[in-house]
């Protein structure tokens, strides 16, 4: 799959941080992870740090898939409101999913303190009503979150105007969110994995998977075999190509990043990510060096050549949308890009085995707007499954959750 268009900022900013070899001979390991992006990195790290022998396989260069195009908003909020998710999976399950994502942000923070220099920073998150018709729905969402112990403030129109300088009917302000450079984080984790004795191979394409009763055999395009006890398929949106069942819908999203903006001009944007209730939604957040990343304008296009042609126009539309809220900002889209993303029907990810392959092949489909939080959460979930332990979210994030 061609997963991105234009010039994704992270790859341009960081370049090729470390070289990894191709897989050149038949190999064995305990756990193989297919996918060299941030999801694969978090999962491989979790397994390796707990004593598992891990081999990572990536068909591109490391981090060059959808991780390079991620805007990396770390939030516990799921694209499906807590109130709506409760109607689908029950209130207990919905709250458990939100709580898991909240803990994932704290776990990512601890992990970034270990690896260092990945542009991690705590932020708050302002979720505003795009129009008055959304106000009652947001109010119910706020009240249910507060009922279950999620720290949040309710802001009326005057509060938003005074504190953030734009007009909106109302908003929910939460205090647990963060920013991250996902490309850099993936490289740092894979570099540490190799330093600790793990193995990472890129430019290596898997063409066949055979799952037996005692092992899984992977075959590369060069007819090289990799035998493992367990396989984790963490190939992002390409993971769907390995399943006969359609579990998510691919779409395209667009983004741009500015030159650094003076702190005084950014104001509260420097420490607050902002997103709206409309679907698709406009969102924005800053980087550690004061750039503004803006994303949105999602569409149903999943044809790379058509997406490529839309990047420039989409960036101009996003600039206009931000200018409507913050006319004083000097916005210069230094780099703009588009990328594939996927959505599940309920907004939840899929982690665990699929009946098509049996219990030794685990999928890690961290789809949706908070995929990195899902990936952190899913890393612990998959380790529990591989080690034969229960996990409180295993059923909720399984392929069989609606059967």
Question: Tokens for 29?
Answer: 């390991």
| pLDDT surpasses 70 at 4 | no
**What is the C-alpha separation between 235 and 366, in angstroms, rounded?**
10
Tens-place pLDDT, residues 120-136: 999 999 999 999 999 99
Distances (CA, A) of 163 to 48, 90, 142, 155, 288: 45, 35, 19, 10, 21
Tens-place pLDDT, residues 111-120: 999 999 999 9
Helical residues (DSSP H) of 67-148, grouped into ranges: 82-89, 91-115, 135-147
216-220/54-57 β-pairing: unpaired
Stretch 233-242: mean pLDDT, rounded? 92
Question: How long, in residues, is the chain?
Answer: 403
Q: What angle do CA 183, 189, 190 make, to 5 degrees?
A: 90
**What pLDDT is attached to residue 3?**
53
Stretch 15-40: mean pLDDT, rounded? 97
Tens-place pLDDT, residues 68-94: 889 999 999 999 999 999 999 999 999
* Exposed/middle/buried for residue 14 (C-beta within 10 Å: 0-12, 13-18, 19+): middle
CATH superfamily of 121-179+249-343: D-Amino Acid Oxidase, subunit A, domain 2 (3.30.9.10)
What's the fold here for domain 20-119+180-246+347-403? FAD/NAD(P)-binding domain (3.50.50)
Domain boundaries, given as residue ranges, for the chain: 20-119+180-246+347-403, 121-179+249-343
**What pLDDT is attached to residue 237?**
83
| pLDDT surpasses 60 at 180 | yes
**What is the C-alpha separation between 259 and 203, in angstroms, rounded?**
32
Q: 151 in helix, strand or coil?
A: coil
Tens-place pLDDT, residues 241-269: 999 999 998 888 999 999 999 989 999 99
Q: What is the mean pLDDT of the chain?
A: 94
**Contact predicate 364/39, CB 8 Å:** yes
**Contact predicate 26/365, CB 8 Å:** no
**Contact predicate 203/129, CB 8 Å:** no
| pLDDT surpasses 90 at 65 | no
Model-level pTM? 0.96
**What pLDDT is attached to residue 303?**
72
Tens-place pLDDT, residues 371-394: 999 999 999 999 999 999 999 999
């Amino acid at each position: 799959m061609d997963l991105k268009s234009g010039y994704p900022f992270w790859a341009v900013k960081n370049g090729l941080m470390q070289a990894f070899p191709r897989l050149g001979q038949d190999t064995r390991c305990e756990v193989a992870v297919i996918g060299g992006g941030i999801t694969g990195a978090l999962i491989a790290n979790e397994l390796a740090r707990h004593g598992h022998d891990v081999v990572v396989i990536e068909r591109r260069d490391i981090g060059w898939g959808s991780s390079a195009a991620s805007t990396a908003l770390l939030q516990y909020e799921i694209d499906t409101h807590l109130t709506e998710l409760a109607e689908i999976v029950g209130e207990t399950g919905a709250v458990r999913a939100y709580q898991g994502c909240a803990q994932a942000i704290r776990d990512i923070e601890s992990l970034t303190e270990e690896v260092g220099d990945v542009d991690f920073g705590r932020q708050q998150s302002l979720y505003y009503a795009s129009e008055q018709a959304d106000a009652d729905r947001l109010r119910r969402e706020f009240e249910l979150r507060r009922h279950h112990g999620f720290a949040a403030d309710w802001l009326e129109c005057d509060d938003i105007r005074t504190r953030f300088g734009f007009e909106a009917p109302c908003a929910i302000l939460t205090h647990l969110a963060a920013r991250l450079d996902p490309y850099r984080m993936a490289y740092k984790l894979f570099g540490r994995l190799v330093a600790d004795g793990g193995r990472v191979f890129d430019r290596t394409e898997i063409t066949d998977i055979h799952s037996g009763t005692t092992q899984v055999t992977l075959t590369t395009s060069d007819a090289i075999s990799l035998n493992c006890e367990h396989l984790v398929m963490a190939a992002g949106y390409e993971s769907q190509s390995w399943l006969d069942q359609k579990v998510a819908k691919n779409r395209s999203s667009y983004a741009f990043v500015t030159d650094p903006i003076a702190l005084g001009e950014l104001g509260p944007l420097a420490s607050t990510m902002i997103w709206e209730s409309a679907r698709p939604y406009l969102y924005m957040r800053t980087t550690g060096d004061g750039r503004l990343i803006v994303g949105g304008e999602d569409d149903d296009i999943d044809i790379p050549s058509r997406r490529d042609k839309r990047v420039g126009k989409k960036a101009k539309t996003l600039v206009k949308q931000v200018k409507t809220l913050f006319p004083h900002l000097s916005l210069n889209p230094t780099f703009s890009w588009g990328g594939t993303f996927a959505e599940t029907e309920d907004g939840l990810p899929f982690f665990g085995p699929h009946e098509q392959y049996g219990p030794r092949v685990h999928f890690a489909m961290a789809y949706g707007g908070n995929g990195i939080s899902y990936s952190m959460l899913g890393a612990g979930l998959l380790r529990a499954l591989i080690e034969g332990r229960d996990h409180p979210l295993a059923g909720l994030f399984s392929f069989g959750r609606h059967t």
